[in-house]
């Protein structure tokens, strides 16, 4: 109409954040550590989504993986061992305008942090949670973690781990109100990026388990997965993984999977070989805690002080 297309204004696009804006300190992870890969995928995601750094928070617990916030040019909270999730929930409920991300380890989340993990799933806060699962405690120099495979020798199990590992995908899928569960390996950047992007766009608690290499302590544990593309199974869907043709040439194992099907997701979570990669479950209808419990009053320090003053005044004795 009127000689104009319906897209006819100059788009100056406001401020633009480049990758550099999301970079901060030089990472101190070991060379070749999978955490580096996760970092660059997340930085790309922030850049592509143009998340204002001042409106973005990365919360972590303790561990190698939990050093993540230091390397992001956004706000961050490197907190206490196992406590990343409750702190992130606190941030989100007070500041729903912020985008909240959590980086935690298999030890941090599924060992000392288990109680918080389970309840955080049920609360379904709107945030992205990345569990860097290297199947070991890295920071404290190689102790068994809940996800260490049976038989792997560590400093706490020199004869090899005694138990089968905890299936954290299955555990997560078993909790009420679960709304998003995905599994990726960090060495296929395209897959990790796509899944993180879906997780970011999902409204609710987006739980992404990231299989992460720890070349320092478990240098060859993932070799079979790394070297044989057939050991991975790509779960494809419009609302999940959409592998490129280039990727398909390498990873030929793929299966369409409807992520709204919880039963199918649980069955898939049980599959070990080949390892399923992609979005297992996604449900947008689960109520989001930070929405249903959004604060209706402003309770600043000042308001609180005034309220107390008023209450105390009722008992005050007029000395004048």
Ligand X SMILES: Cc1ncc(C[n+]2csc(CCOP(=O)(O)OP(=O)(O)O)c2C)c(N)n1
Query: What residue ranges bind other proteins (CB under 8 A)?
Result: 1-13, 15-16, 18-20, 31-34, 36-37, 39-40, 43-44, 47, 186-190, 213, 215, 226-227, 244, 246-247, 250
The helix-helix angle for 84-94 and 114-123 (nearest 10°) equals 30
The phi, psi pair for 208, rounded to 5°, reads: -120, 115
Q: Cβ of residue 296: shortest distance to ligand X, in angstroms? A: 36
How many amino acids of this chain bind ligand X (CB under 6 A)? 18
User: Interface residues for ligand X in 41-70 (CB under 6 A)?
Assistant: 62-65
Three-class secondary structure assignment of 169-222: HHHHHCCCCCCEEEEEECCCHHHHHHHHHHHHHCCCEEEEEEECCCCCCCCCCC
- The continuous run of DSSP H or E covering 121 comes out as helix 114-123
How many alpha carbons fall within 13 Å on the CB side of residue 24? 16
Q: Does 213 bind ligand X (CB under 6 A)?
A: no
Q: Does 61 bind ligand SF4 (CB under 6 A)?
A: no
User: Interface residues for ligand SF4 in 202-241 (CB under 6 A)?
Assistant: 214-217
The smaller minimum CB distance to ligand SF4, of residues 30 and 275, is found at 30
Residue from 68, 101, 125, 137 in contact with ligand X (CB under 6 A):
137
Q: Does 166 bind ligand X (CB under 6 A)?
A: no
- Are β-strands 275-282 and 180-185 bridged in parallel, bridged antiparallel, or unpaired? antiparallel
1 binds, among other proteins, ligand X, ligand SF4, none (CB under 5 to 8 A by kind): other proteins
Minimal CA–CA distance to 179: which of 266, 259, 283? Answer: 283
The smaller minimum CB distance to ligand X, of residues 139 and 226, is found at 139
Reading phi first (left if > 0) and then psi (alpha if -120 to 50, else beta), residue 89 is in alpha
Residue from 21, 108, 186, 198 in contact with ligand X (CB under 6 A):
108
Q: Compute the distance between CA of residue 121 and CA of residue 21 in angstroms, rounded to an integer.
A: 31
Q: Cβ of residue 183: shortest distance to other proteins, in angstroms? A: 17
Binding site for ligand SF4 (CB under 6 A): 29-30, 33, 35, 64, 134, 138, 214-217
């Amino acid at each position: 109409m009127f000689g104009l297309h319906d897209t006819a204004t100059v788009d100056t696009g406001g401020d633009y954040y480049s990758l550099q804006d999301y970079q901060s300190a030089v990472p101190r992870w070991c060379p070749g550590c999978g955490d580096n890969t996760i970092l660059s995928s997340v930085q790309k995601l922030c850049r592509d989504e143009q998340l204002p750094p001042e409106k973005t928070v990365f919360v972590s617990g303790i561990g190698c993986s939990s050093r993540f916030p230091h390397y992001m040019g956004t706000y961050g909270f490197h907190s206490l061992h196992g406590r990343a999730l409750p702190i992130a929930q606190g941030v989100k409920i007070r500041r729903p305008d912020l985008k909240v991300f959590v980086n935690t380890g298999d030890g941090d989340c599924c060992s000392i942090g288990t109680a918080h993990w389970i309840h955080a799933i049920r609360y379904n806060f709107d945030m992205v949670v990345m569990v860097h699962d290297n199947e070991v405690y890295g920071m404290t120099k190689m102790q068994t973690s809940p996800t260490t495979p049976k038989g792997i020798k560590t400093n706490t199990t020199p004869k090899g781990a005694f138990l089968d590992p905890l299936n954290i995908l299955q555990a997560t899928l078993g909790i009420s109100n679960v709304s998003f569960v995905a599994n990726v390996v960090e060495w296929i950047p395209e897959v990790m990026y796509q899944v993180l992007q879906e997780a970011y766009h999902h409204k609710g608690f987006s739980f992404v388990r990231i299989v992460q290499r720890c070349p320092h302590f478990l240098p060859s544990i993932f070799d079979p997965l790394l070297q044989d593309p057939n050991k991975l199974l790509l779960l494809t869907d419009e609302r999940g993984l959409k592998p490129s043709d280039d990727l398909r040439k390498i990873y030929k194992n793929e299966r369409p999977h409807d992520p709204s099907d919880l039963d199918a997701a649980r069955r898939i979570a049980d599959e070990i070989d080949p390892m399923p990669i992609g979005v297992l479950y996604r449900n947008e209808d689960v109520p989001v805690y930070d929405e249903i419990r959004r604060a209706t009053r402003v309770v600043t320090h000042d308001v609180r002080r005034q309220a107390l003053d008023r209450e105390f005044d009722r008992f005050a004795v007029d000395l004048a």
